[in-house]
Amino acid sequence: MSALFPDTRPEAEEVLIYLLRQAPPWRKLEMVNQLNQSIILLALAGLHERYPNTSEGQIRRHLADLLLGEGLAEKAYGPFNVEAT
């Protein structure tokens, strides 16, 4: 078996894979949801750093642009309004 995690001992990786295979579907979905929430928090932190004087509404729109792409975000939320709050 090839190493999925090169910084992890093979024995530990085997245990991790075994535990993931044994997890019920609801737990796997819960883990994916937690990862998605972490990604959103990291993206928001990066957007706040990149645009420090931007309103929360504009930050959320930047997030939509990142997650959906500018075209779909515009279809869903309308054109990006720099002066929106």
Tell me the pLDDT tens digit for each residue of 70-84.
Answer: 999 999 998 887 665
Model's pTM, two decimal places?
Answer: 0.74
Cβ within 8 Å of residue 31, ≥6 positions away? 23
Residue pair 84/57 in contact by the 8 Å Cβ criterion:
yes
* Angle ∠(39,41,42) on CA atoms, nearest 5: 65
Q: Could you tell me if residue 84 is inside a domain?
A: no
**For residue 70, what pLDDT is reported?**
93
Domain that holds residue 45: 10-77
Domain count, the chain: 1
Residue pair 13/20 in contact by the 8 Å Cβ criterion:
no
**For residue 85, what pLDDT is reported?**
45
Q: What is the pLDDT of residues 5-28, one digit of tens each?
A: 888 899 999 999 999 999 999 999
* Angle ∠(50,61,71) on CA atoms, nearest 5: 110
Q: Could you tell me if residue 5 is inside a domain?
A: no
Q: What is the pLDDT of residues 32-84, one digit of tens each?
A: 999 999 999 999 999 999 999 999 999 999 999 999 999 999 999 988 876 65
